[in-house]
């Protein structure tokens, strides 16, 4: 079988964005097939698209810039899914719950890309970092800010609170992907329990105090129960 790239028709004037999308699609496919960024090359992407390597460099300065763009698009789609499931929820706390569950679910559906996007080598200020700061993470933080305004979450740093929940969601997603054979039970229920514990723990901390020792915290919770 010939390994020569398919000849691609010359793009129409103004269709540069289409070629850029094709490059990103091809890179995404190769990342999912190989499972590792190091196995993907500019030459391989060009072959998959049916163009020459210089055509890739017209849109991306180098391989790192190309991978950053793929990961940035991944986080945009993650955010779209998180926003989709959050729409129509009955309360703000249910919005936060839906966002967390959607995060883990999306990661499990795209394990190779998730690993590369969240656990690959990155550079401060890259497109990936800008995406984390401007889409999915910002929407999660906005939900927490609303909970603070509603008096559900205690006053405090919404960025730190969002990072705590993000960390928990990432930890669940990463372990479910890396160790699917562990006795998780129903993974959706497991995810919900973990994220629920983080959220309710944060709410409870607001009532009993951040600096209260664990033993004293237990006693205070018993008093509230009584």
Q: For position 131, what pLDDT does the model report? A: 58
Whether 31 and 83 map to the same domain: the answer is no
Token pair of 176 as six digits: 């479910």
Q: For position 168, what pLDDT does the model report? A: 95
The number of domains in the chain is 2
Whether 53 and 83 map to the same domain: the answer is no
Whether 102 and 139 map to the same domain: the answer is yes
Question: Which of 13, 29, 60 is the last residue before a domain boundary?
Answer: 60
**Domain enclosing residue 124, as ranges:** 71-225
Q: What is the DSSP string of 44-106?
A: HHHHHHTS-HHHHHTT-SSHHHHHHHHHHHHHHHHHHHHHHHHTT-SSHHHHHHHHHHHHHHH
Whether 207 and 110 map to the same domain: the answer is yes
Whether 75 and 53 map to the same domain: the answer is no
Which residues, other chains included, contact 117 with Cβ-Cβ below 8 Å and sequence gap of 6+?
70, 71, 74, 75, 128
- Rounded Cα gap, residues 99 and 140, in angstroms: 7
Token pair of 95 as six digits: 């919005």
Q: For position 218, what pLDDT does the model report? A: 87
Whether 112 and 220 map to the same domain: the answer is yes
Q: For position 110, what pLDDT does the model report? A: 86
- Rounded Cα gap, residues 174 and 103, in angstroms: 11
Which residues, other chains included, contact 136 with Cβ-Cβ below 8 Å and sequence gap of 6+?
75, 78, 79, 82, 103
Q: For position 206, what pLDDT does the model report? A: 81
Q: For position 15, what pLDDT does the model report? A: 54
Whether 82 and 16 map to the same domain: the answer is no
- Rounded Cα gap, residues 49 and 94, in angstroms: 42
Give this prediction's pTM.
0.80
Q: For position 14, what pLDDT does the model report? A: 39
Which domain CATH number covers 172? Answer: 1.10.357.10
Whether 144 and 217 map to the same domain: the answer is yes
Q: How many residues belong to the chain? A: 226
pLDDT in tens, the chain (226 residues): 434 443 444 444 335 688 999 999 999 999 888 878 888 899 999 999 999 999 999 999 999 889 888 888 888 899 999 999 999 899 999 999 999 999 999 999 988 888 888 876 655 666 656 556 758 899 999 999 999 999 999 998 999 999 999 999 999 999 999 999 999 999 999 999 999 999 988 888 888 877 888 898 888 888 877 6
Whether 148 and 204 map to the same domain: the answer is yes
Which domain CATH number covers 17? Answer: 1.10.10
The answer to whether position 65 is within a domain reads no
């Amino acid at each position: 079988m010939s390994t020569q790239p398919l000849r691609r028709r010359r793009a129409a004037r103004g269709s540069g964005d289409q070629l850029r999308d094709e490059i990103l699609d091809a890179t995404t496919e190769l990342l999912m097939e190989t499972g590792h960024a190091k196995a993907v090359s500019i030459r391989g992407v060009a072959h998959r698209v049916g163009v020459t390597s210089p055509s890739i460099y017209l849109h991306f300065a180098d391989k790192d810039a190309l991978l950053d763009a793929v990961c940035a698009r991944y986080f945009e789609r993650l955010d779209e899914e998180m926003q989709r499931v959050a729409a129509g929820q009955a309360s703000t706390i249910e919005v936060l719950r839906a966002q967390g569950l959607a995060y883990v679910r999306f990661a499990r559906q795209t394990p190779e890309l998730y690993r590369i996007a969240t656990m690959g080598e990155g550079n401060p200020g890259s497109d990936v970092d800008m995406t984390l700061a401007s889409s999915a993470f910002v929407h999660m933080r906005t939900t927490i800010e609303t909970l603070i305004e509603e008096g559900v979450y205690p006053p405090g740093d919404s960025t730190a609170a969002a990072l705590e929940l993000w960390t928990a969601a990432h930890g669940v997603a990463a372990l479910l992907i890396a160790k699917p054979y562990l006795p998780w039970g129903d993974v959706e229920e497991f995810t919900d329990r973990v994220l629920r514990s983080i959220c309710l723990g944060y709410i409870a901390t607001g009532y009993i105090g951040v600096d209260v020792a664990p033993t004293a915290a237990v006693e205070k919770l018993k008093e509230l129960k009584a």
